[in-house]
Amino acid sequence: MNKFKDVLKVFFNTILELIYPEKGICFICEEYDAVVDETHICKKCFNELTFVKGNICTICGKPLELGYLPDRCPDCIRLNHYFEKVISPLEYTGFVKKAIYKYKYGKKAYMYKALGPILVQAFKESDINDIDIIVPVPLHKSKIAYRGFNQSELLCRYISKILKIPLDIKNFKRVKKTEVQNKLDKRERIKNVKNAFKVVNNDVFKNKNILLVDDIYTTGATVDECSKTLLKAGANKVYVLTLATVPIRYF
Ligand SMILES: [Zn+2]
Ligand SMILES: [Zn+2]
């Protein structure tokens, strides 16, 4: 019964996306506002977003505590990541947390239209300019069946279209059904995602610079394992773009 309800909900939201006008509706609060353009976010919601600012870790992009001398967070000082660096425009707290939760678990797939422009802007402001392919962090097929969509894939489609960089959604798979990461500590997270991903055809990623996209960066265990797998398949470099990052003090 629940599954049927879920399918109906996804169906209903897809219809909503089709009937919503291109302008005038904020896809976060769902209010009508004549000045809302095709970025689908009203001024009130935009002002509630907490953007990462000030000193950030040059590797994982997390905001650093004031007075913290090095340009790396304690985590990135301690261990080497497989990815080059992470771009994360938002802090995963308060309003941002609620909005991403609504997008992922509220089956509101169309919200990618409000969140995608934030990612595009962050990428444009970064110093990354050598991406060959955009790839989403894949979900296990059982999760897609349950959720109805892969939130990262929808964001990738949007970014790819706007930035005119090719997208690949078929060659990188999640082959292990992993536990939900948010209940696990750092060590358990690393173990949980170990060998969870697979590249179907190595030739597709050979010598390519990949932009890996996900919604949230917490400890980096997932994107690091993804990056490891992509490099093993012959990729040249992996950069990571996530919507939001969990500030260091929160985990
Ligand atoms: Zn709004
Ligand atoms: Zn860091």
13: pLDDT confidence band, cut at 50, 70 and 90? low
62 Cα: distance to centroid of ligand 2 (angstroms): 6
Is 221 part of a structural domain of the chain? yes
10 Cα: distance to centroid of ligand 2 (angstroms): 36
Q: Which one of the ligands is nearest to 95 CA?
A: 1
CATH code of the domain containing 119? 3.40.50
Residue appearing with tokens 């609504």: 102
Q: Which is higher by pLDDT, 152 or 17?
A: 152
Q: Which is higher by pLDDT, 214 or 181?
A: 214
pLDDT of res. 16:
60
33 Cα: distance to centroid of ligand 1 (angstroms): 8
136: pLDDT confidence band, cut at 50, 70 and 90? very high
Number of domains comprising the chain: 1
Is 163 part of a structural domain of the chain? yes
20 Cα: distance to centroid of ligand 1 (angstroms): 14
Determine the distance from the C-alpha atom of residue 174 to the mean position of all C-alpha atoms in its chain, rounded to a whole number: 15
The residue-averaged pLDDT of 104-126 equals: 93
Scanning the chain, the segments in alpha helix (DSSP H) are: 2-19, 43-48, 74-78, 94-105, 112-125, 141-147, 151-163, 186-193, 202-205, 221-232
Structure token pair of residue 214: 């996900």
- Domain containing residue 68: 50-250
pLDDT in tens, 36-53: 888 899 999 999 999 999
* C-alpha to C-alpha distance for 23 and 35, rounded to whole angstroms: 8
Q: Which one of the ligands is nearest to 40 CA?
A: 1
pLDDT greater than 60 at residue 158: yes
Is 219 part of a structural domain of the chain? yes
By the 8 A CB rule, do 208 and 25 touch? no
pLDDT in tens, 60-78: 999 987 666 678 898 898 8
pLDDT greater than 60 at residue 215: yes
Q: Which amino acid is at 211?
A: L
Q: Which one of the ligands is nearest to 48 CA?
A: 1
Is 42 part of a structural domain of the chain? no
* C-alpha to C-alpha distance for 134 and 42, rounded to whole angstroms: 28
pLDDT of res. 58:
94
Is 28 part of a structural domain of the chain? no
First to last CA, the chain: 36
Is 43 part of a structural domain of the chain? no
Q: Which amino acid is at 5?
A: K
